[in-house]
A = this chain, B = another copy of it.
Amino acid sequence: MFREKVLKPRVSIVCVVRKSIIVMLGPAGSGKTSLVASLGKWIEKKQLVPVLYVNLDPGAPYTPYAAEVNIREYVKVEDVMAREKLGPNGALIRSIELAREYLPEIVERIGRSPKPYVLVDTPGQMELFLFRDLGVEFVEAMRRVGYIIGVLIFDHLLAARPQDVVSLRLLATIVQLRLGVDVIPVINKSDVSSETRERLSRALSDSSSLLEELKSERGLLGEMSEKVVGVLDEYRFATRVPLVSALTWEGLEELYDMLHEIFCACGDLT
């Protein structure tokens, strides 16, 4: 029944008929939740498209967006800690296991919504989503609902050294392999000095100078990185890395354009 609704959305402003689903990923503390909130607001305000916010983090008691579908309606980490007498680590893992049981209902609720854009916030600790079954199962189930793109956020402090930018691109490739979705890596919290911003932009747009530096510093490891990045470039995997800021909204238009391009090329076109 919800399939019908998906195929007949009330809004036709976007080019896809099925839903456009963005799954926000990134290591703990990289700013996933803030970016979900600001990207959502940006899309609503600038594209006039209604956004459905989904929270899949059983450990986030507060979100700066109104989550219409929220895993915490079913599982709360603090309840699991108390009920099962677990420490925070164990309770987080257990909560993610419990959350899997509610996936069918969650996916159905998302499918029933008339909103064409879906922003999905994932567990604070990325590995609980990426390296356990929850992520793979959620993405598989969501394929019936729409086209999915992963956005992988790194904090700018995590991209300070040349090897870190290579790491970000490798992690984007892991997400792509594990979840089977396109991934756009972004660097968040660009609300830093213009000097840092410029240095980062240079490093991200010109991978050759970055790799030269790595080669001279790290020898064989640098050489290997150069070849791996060469392969990723050849297949255009995660080539453009936009700098975004949840605070100043900088870079959100560039990110939206990149998302839109993939949705229109790969999603069902009208």
Interface residues of A in 144-178 (CB under 8 A from B): 154, 157-158, 163-164, 166-167, 170-171, 173-174, 176-178
B158 touches A167 (CB 8 A): no
List residues of chain B with CB within 8 A of the CB of A163.
177-178, 180
Please tell me the number of chain A residues within 8 Å of chain B, measured between CB atoms: 54
Q: Which residues of B contact A61 (CB under 8 A)?
A: 87
Question: How far apart are the CA atoms of A164 and B177 in the complex, in Å?
Answer: 7
List A224-270 residues whose CB lies under 8 Å from chain B: 224-225, 227-228, 231-232, 234-235, 237
0/1 per residue, A166-210, Cβ < 8 Å to B?
Answer: 110011011011101000000000000000000000000000000
- How many copies of this chain? 2
> B89, A60: Cβ atoms under 8 Å?
yes
Would A28 and B88 count as touching, CB distance under 8 A? no
CB distance from A122 to the nearest CB of B (A): 12
How far is B228's CA from A176's CA once the two chains are assembled, in angstroms?
14
Q: Which residues of B contact A77 (CB under 8 A)?
A: 87-89
Q: Does A92 contact B (CB under 8 A)?
A: yes
What is the bound-complex CA distance between A60 and B88, given in angstroms?
9
A103 part of interface (Cβ distance < 8 Å): no
A124 partner residues in chain B, CB cutoff 8 A? 89, 93
Contact status of A28 and B89, CB under 8 A, knowing A177-B163, A228-B231: yes
Q: How far is the CB of A175 from chain B (nearest CB, A)?
A: 9
Q: Are A173 and B176 in touch, CB under 8 angstroms? A: no
Chain B CB within 8 A of A220 CB? yes
A126 close to B (CB within 8 Å): yes
**Chain A residues near B (Cβ < 8 Å):** 27-30, 57, 59-61, 77-78, 81, 87-89, 91-93, 124-128, 130-133, 154, 157-158, 163-164, 166-167, 170-171, 173-174, 176-178, 180, 218, 220-221, 223-225, 227-228, 231-232, 234-235, 237
- Mind listing 19 A-B residue pairs with CB under 8 Å? A27-B132, A28-B131, A28-B132, A59-B88, A77-B89, A89-B92, A126-B127, A133-B157, A163-B178, A164-B178, A166-B177, A167-B174, A167-B177, A167-B178, A170-B170, A176-B221, A220-B235, A224-B231, A228-B228
The 3 nearest A-B residue pairs measured at CB: A88-B88, A89-B124, A27-B131
